[in-house]
Chains A and B, each alone.
Chain A
Amino acid sequence: MAALSRPSDHIDSRPQTPQAGVVQPKLGVTGWLRWFWRQLTSMRTALFLLLMLAIASIPGSLVPQRTSDPNGVTQYFSDHPDLAPILDKLQAFDVYTSAWFSSIYLLLFISLIGCVIPRTKHHFQALRAKPPTTPARLARLSGFTTRDAPAQTDAATAITHARTVLKSSGYRVARFDSDTESSVSAERGYLRETGNLVFHAALVGVLVTVGFGGGYGFAGQRVLVEGQTFVNTLLAYDSFNPGRFFDDTTLDPYTLSLDDFSVSYEQRNLQAYGQPIDFTADVTVTPKGETSEPGVVKVNGPLRTNGTNIYLLGNGYAPTITVTAPDGTVVFSDSVPFLPQDANLTSLGIVKVPDGLAEQLGMIGFFYPTQDKMDTGANFSSYPDLEYPLLTLNVYTGDLGLDDGVPTSVYALTTDDLTQQTGGTTGVDSIELKPGASAELPNGLGAVSFVDTNPTASATGDFTQSVPRFASFDIHHDPTQIWLISFSALVLFGLFTGLLVPRRRVWVKATTRADGSVHLEYAGLARGDDPALEAAVTAVADRHLKLLKTHQPAVATPESPPKR
């Protein structure tokens, strides 16, 4: 299988280290270090570590990961209370940042660097070296073929032309002449090794960029209801995760307004009726001290502005709810984002009214954009758009738990210290509201209303404008993306050239026979996988002969017919 083996100057060809260990029984500290380094940077270790890396990646697909699926992890803990803590000790929920996974890839990359540096040195030398002397017997090499030079062409001239042919095909050439024969030795495809080295080096680039890149940026989330505006400052984010090296003061305080959020649903194809086919957020961006510019954010189309990327990651309805005290003072009025629970956008939202009423008030609301009733009497939504919207509210009173100083989610209501007043087992029906309607709160607490944002249209039965929508945006800043894409391009380039450029040697030898005629021999040697070698040698021979014929002295006499 020497056919497709790598060039003999390849790294794997140096003496195997275990033998070195056997030959020298006494190794000093440096000897051992050296031995260890050799082991680490050997092809065998690289292969072993690669396979380990593949195996070590598997658990992360079997067990939910904190980074990609935090709710799944919580769920896993409650489903497997005994197993989960053990798995957690093994870092099974953080596989890709775990000590064991990291040590594998770090060792792999140390090995890679240790492997690539000497090869790079070696390659630089090879790039400057002359092709080696022509072997004595070409017949044993691949693609061996012979030709007879046209009459009156001497060996030296034939080789001069061969040199031209090879050089014009991108070969590096060296010429050897003796009394009886002339030859040219040629090599090409150094790009193969260059590509391989670029590939490996670029992998290091990718790793380093991914490893440190996140540290220089930030990722924040913000929910905006139609008509709302957000200023790119730390406090305006619903959540904000800065990288380790990120400086908050560098945030560029532009404003982003959500002017309109439009959705379209499939209506013609009954198989997919109601499937969303487009989400578009029309926004206005105003950089500090500059004029506003309109922009669009779509699911696959982030808006890149002011050094940040704005992604559209979620959307839903934000019913406008007003709560008034018995004396008519408005104690709560807001468009509350309701989180979608199913494909038809049955949505769940929470209203908390800590002040202004006789008791603290909490409400768990369900919103049905197109309300329908099951046989059991339960509500559900049968279509995601606003055809027949209905809001239902279960009312709780008591202690909302907001005063304990513990941060609480706006999307959850802790009912431990609350008394349910409507819905469930209370015997009192939940409050049900159509847009524009109001209802009394239990215990004479006050009243709640569901504001219709477009009563005129609703009056004609068109509810599509009655409830505002919200969009949830992820806003990211990652200054290293450009690096990452550049290294990736280098990886691809290196791969293409490292795997597909043939590296080969070709020799042409001209020998003068006793009768004065010149015998030409051609042969090649593959250095790495090279399926086209033989064809290439033949092509060189053909081109060479053609060139010789055109340069044949005009007085050529057809004395010796070509013989084999």
Chain B
Amino acid sequence: MNLTDPALLNSYSLYALYSAMAVYALAFIAFAVDLARRSSAVDAIEAADLVEADAAPAAGAAPAGAAASAGSTRVVERPALKHPVLSRISARMDNDAALPYGRSSSLRVGVALTVLAWALHLAATIMRGFAADRVPWANMYEFAMTGTLLIMTVFLIVLIRSDLRFLGTFVTGLVLVLLGVAALQFYVEVAPLPPALQSAWLVIHVFVASLATGMFALGFALSTVQLLQFRRENHVLEGAAAPRGAVASALRLRFLATLPSSATLENLAYRINIIGFILWTFTLMAGSIWAEQAWGRYWGWDTKEVWTFIIWVIYAGYIHARATRGWRGSRSAWLAIIGFAAVMFNFGIVNVFFKGLHAYSGL
């Protein structure tokens, strides 16, 4: 292929992007299958527990404490489900799932497909950059492409350190939706940078903003699962005295039993969100430095600036909430969720529909 022909390069970029989307879709399916399997594994264990409880009524007295590893019906004694207040004082971050869940082939397939899709996505983004002969994040289409690439990159890097593969459906799903909207609604042909965007700050400011968005996306996912998990834990605590079957049927998302406790999820979400917050603070500052160079003022309450500020304040609120009595746990999780909603709003709605100086959507 002729790598010097921008039009050709751009069409290869599009092919690569569409292939990436197809592979992400497959990965999404694999992750979804994994969640379904987790649910049925939980069912199997609980059914076995019931049998056991029937056989030995004494075991039914402490059902929450009984758990088994997936794939076997061997019941082992484990410590009781940790109520947040009773949780240990250490900062250990192991997977403290109520029902540990063994190795899963669909999970591994999901990750492998995600890595493949990510590679295609990366190739698409790089080719777009070469086709345009500049950084590939100068309009909505490119920003979506690079932003989702970074969300995925952050996810894959975090996977190396913590086993968050259970978020695979969410992350691949989110990226698929965003890429779909980008390719169908925001697509624009390669165009040179208008003078207003010719700045080193485009590279820094927008890149860091995307990176922060990647963090916030993961934080959002963790906070959401945290809320669901917390609900489940409450059910289990309340249902400890009730017959086991009632508890099981009150819970829809049974796979939650195989995921870390809400306290662990909250800590993970916090760690990821504070990184996002630091990056966002930098984005805001870099933005005002750039605004000073381009428009002669560092802050003018332009719509985009307003929303960047709102997001910053919401996440500052989130960090505070975590240190405020009565706001830890679910309430602060809601703030993280609202924060990410604002991030998406800022990207999807403010860019396109609000009037302002940041008219870079390219539409």
Q: Which residues of A contact B (CB under 8 A)?
A: 1-6, 10, 12, 16, 43-44, 46-47, 50-51, 53-54, 57-58, 60-61, 64-65, 67-69, 72, 95-96, 140-143, 210, 219, 266, 269, 271-272, 275-279, 298-302, 309, 311, 313, 474, 476, 481, 484-485, 488, 491-492, 495-496, 499-500, 525-526, 529-534
Whether B109 sits at the interface, judged by CB under 8 Å, is no
* CB <8 Å contact, B263 and A299: no
* CB <8 Å contact, B298 and A269: no
Q: Which A residues touch B327, using CB under 8 A? A: 44, 47
* CB <8 Å contact, A491 and B281: yes
Give Cα distance in the complex from A141 to B320, angstroms: 26
* CB <8 Å contact, B267 and A47: no
Which one of B25-33, B145-153, B304-312 is at the A interface? B304-312
Q: Which A residues touch B356, using CB under 8 A? A: 68
* CB <8 Å contact, A3 and B320: no
Q: Which A residues touch B316, using CB under 8 A? A: 50
19 A-B pairs within 8 Å (CB atoms) are namely A2-B89, A3-B88, A44-B324, A47-B324, A57-B309, A61-B303, A61-B350, A143-B90, A266-B191, A266-B192, A272-B189, A298-B195, A301-B293, A476-B297, A481-B298, A484-B298, A491-B281, A531-B93, A534-B92
* CB <8 Å contact, B294 and A300: yes
Q: Which B residues touch A484, using CB under 8 A? A: 298
With both beta carbons as reference points, the residue of chain B lying nearest to A279 in the complex is identified as B195
With both beta carbons as reference points, the residue of chain B lying nearest to A485 in the complex is identified as B289
* CB <8 Å contact, A275 and B302: no
Whether B295 sits at the interface, judged by CB under 8 Å, is yes
* CB <8 Å contact, A12 and B296: no
Q: Which A residues touch B313, using CB under 8 A? A: 50-51, 53-54, 57
* CB <8 Å contact, A495 and B195: no
B91's partner among A279, A488, A534 (CB-CB below 8 A) is A534
Give Cα distance in the complex from A272 to B89, angstroms: 61
* CB <8 Å contact, A3 and B300: no
User: Given A57-B309, A313-B295, A276–B195 Cβ distance below 8 Å?
Assistant: yes
* CB <8 Å contact, B285 and A474: no
> Interface size class for chain B?
35 or more
* CB <8 Å contact, A1 and B190: no
Give chain A nearest CB distance to B116 CB in angstroms.
Answer: 30
* CB <8 Å contact, B91 and A529: yes
* CB <8 Å contact, A67 and B300: yes
Give chain B nearest CB distance to A253 CB in angstroms.
Answer: 21
Q: Which B residues touch A4, using CB under 8 A? A: 91, 267, 270, 322
* CB <8 Å contact, A68 and B195: no
Give Cα distance in the complex from A492 to B284, angstroms: 11
Give chain B nearest CB distance to A92 CB in angstroms.
Answer: 13
Give chain A nearest CB distance to B240 CB in angstroms.
Answer: 20
Q: Which A residues touch B173, using CB under 8 A? A: none
* CB <8 Å contact, B310 and A277: no
Apart from A50-B313, A276-B195, A485-B289: 9 A-B pairs, beta carbons within 8 A: A2-B87, A57-B310, A142-B89, A271-B191, A302-B293, A499-B274, A500-B274, A529-B91, A534-B92
Q: Name the residue in A4, A67, A271 with the highest tally of chain B Cβ atoms < 10 Å from its Cβ.
A: A4
* CB <8 Å contact, B267 and A299: no
With both beta carbons as reference points, the residue of chain A lying nearest to B191 in the complex is identified as A272
Q: Name the residue in B278, B301, B307 with the highest tally of chain A Cβ atoms < 10 Å from its Cβ.
A: B301
User: Given A51-B317, A269-B190, A219–B89 Cβ distance below 8 Å?
Assistant: no
Closest 9 CB pairs of A and B: A142-B90, A272-B191, A271-B189, A311-B296, A299-B195, A300-B199, A54-B313, A61-B306, A50-B317
User: Given A2-B87, A266-B192, A68–B300 Cβ distance below 8 Å?
Assistant: yes
Q: Which B residues touch A309, using CB under 8 A? A: 296
Q: Name the residue in A6, A16, A309, A484 with the highest tally of chain B Cβ atoms < 10 Å from its Cβ.
A: A484
Give chain B nearest CB distance to A547 CB in angstroms.
Answer: 25
A6's partner among B192, B195, B299, B323 (CB-CB below 8 A) is B323
Give Cα distance in the complex from A1 to B357, angstroms: 45
Whether B251 sits at the interface, judged by CB under 8 Å, is no
* CB <8 Å contact, B198 and A300: yes
* CB <8 Å contact, A43 and B355: no
Whether B239 sits at the interface, judged by CB under 8 Å, is no
* CB <8 Å contact, B293 and A12: no
Whether B115 sits at the interface, judged by CB under 8 Å, is no
B192's partner among A272, A474, A481 (CB-CB below 8 A) is A272
Q: Which B residues touch A474, using CB under 8 A? A: 296
B198's partner among A46, A299, A530 (CB-CB below 8 A) is A299
Give chain B nearest CB distance to A139 CB in angstroms.
Answer: 12
User: Given A50-B317, A279-B195, A298-B195, A313–B296 Cβ distance below 8 Å?
Assistant: yes
Q: Which B residues touch A3, using CB under 8 A? A: 87-91, 263, 267
Give Cα distance in the complex from A378 to B86, angstroms: 79
Q: Which A residues touch B198, using CB under 8 A? A: 278, 299-300
With both beta carbons as reference points, the residue of chain B lying nearest to A47 in the complex is identified as B320
* CB <8 Å contact, B355 and A60: no
Whether B325 sits at the interface, judged by CB under 8 Å, is yes
Give Cα distance in the complex from A419 to B198, angstroms: 47
Give chain B nearest CB distance to A160 CB in angstroms.
Answer: 28
With both beta carbons as reference points, the residue of chain B lying nearest to A57 in the complex is identified as B310
* CB <8 Å contact, A58 and B310: yes
A-contact bits for B175-197, CB 8 A (1 contact / 0 none): 00000000000000111111110
* CB <8 Å contact, B317 and A47: yes
Q: Which A residues touch B263, using CB under 8 A? A: 1, 3
Give Cα distance in the complex from A448 to B161, angstroms: 77
Give Cα distance in the complex from A431 to B301, angstroms: 44
Give Cα distance in the complex from A476 to B295, angstroms: 11
* CB <8 Å contact, A142 and B324: no
Q: Which A residues touch B302, using CB under 8 A? A: 68
Give chain A nearest CB distance to B339 CB in angstroms.
Answer: 9
Q: Which A residues touch B326, using CB under 8 A? A: 44
Give Cα distance in the complex from A72 to B196, angstroms: 22
Give chain A nearest CB distance to B316 CB in angstroms.
Answer: 6
Whether B84 sits at the interface, judged by CB under 8 Å, is yes
Whether B271 sits at the interface, judged by CB under 8 Å, is yes
Whether B37 sits at the interface, judged by CB under 8 Å, is no
Q: Which A residues touch B278, using CB under 8 A? A: 492, 495-496, 499-500
With both beta carbons as reference points, the residue of chain A lying nearest to B293 in the complex is identified as A300
Q: Name the residue in A58, A67, A271, A500 with the highest tally of chain B Cβ atoms < 10 Å from its Cβ.
A: A271
Give Cα distance in the complex from A60 to B303, angstroms: 8
Whether B85 sits at the interface, judged by CB under 8 Å, is yes
Give chain B nearest CB distance to A64 CB in angstroms.
Answer: 7
Q: Which A residues touch B293, using CB under 8 A? A: 300-302, 311
* CB <8 Å contact, A43 and B191: no
Q: Which B residues touch A69, using CB under 8 A? A: 355
Give chain B nearest CB distance to A2 CB in angstroms.
Answer: 5
Give Cα distance in the complex from A298 to B306, angstroms: 26
Give chain A nearest CB distance to B216 CB in angstroms.
Answer: 15
User: Given A3-B263, A313-B296, A529-B271, A47–B321 Cβ distance below 8 Å?
Assistant: yes
Give Cα distance in the complex from A143 to B94, angstroms: 13
Give Cα distance in the complex from A500 to B290, angstroms: 27
Give chain B nearest CB distance to A55 CB in angstroms.
Answer: 8
Give Cα distance in the complex from A466 to B130, angstroms: 37
Q: Which A residues touch B88, using CB under 8 A? A: 3, 142
Give chain A nearest CB distance to B12 CB in angstroms.
Answer: 17
User: Given A61-B306, A529-B271, A1–B189 Cβ distance below 8 Å?
Assistant: no
With both beta carbons as reference points, the residue of chain B lying nearest to A534 in the complex is identified as B92
Give chain B nearest CB distance to A146 CB in angstroms.
Answer: 16
* CB <8 Å contact, B320 and A50: yes
With both beta carbons as reference points, the residue of chain A lying nearest to B342 in the complex is identified as A54
User: Given A4-B267, A53-B313, A269-B190, A61–B281 Cβ distance below 8 Å?
Assistant: no
* CB <8 Å contact, B6 and A269: yes
Give chain B nearest CB distance to A194 CB in angstroms.
Answer: 17
Give Cα distance in the complex from A50 to B314, angstroms: 7
Whether B165 sits at the interface, judged by CB under 8 Å, is no
Give Cα distance in the complex from A68 to B354, angstroms: 13
Q: Which B residues touch A50, using CB under 8 A? A: 313, 316-317, 320
B301's partner among A60, A279, A311, A500 (CB-CB below 8 A) is A60
Give chain A nearest CB distance to B187 CB in angstroms.
Answer: 12
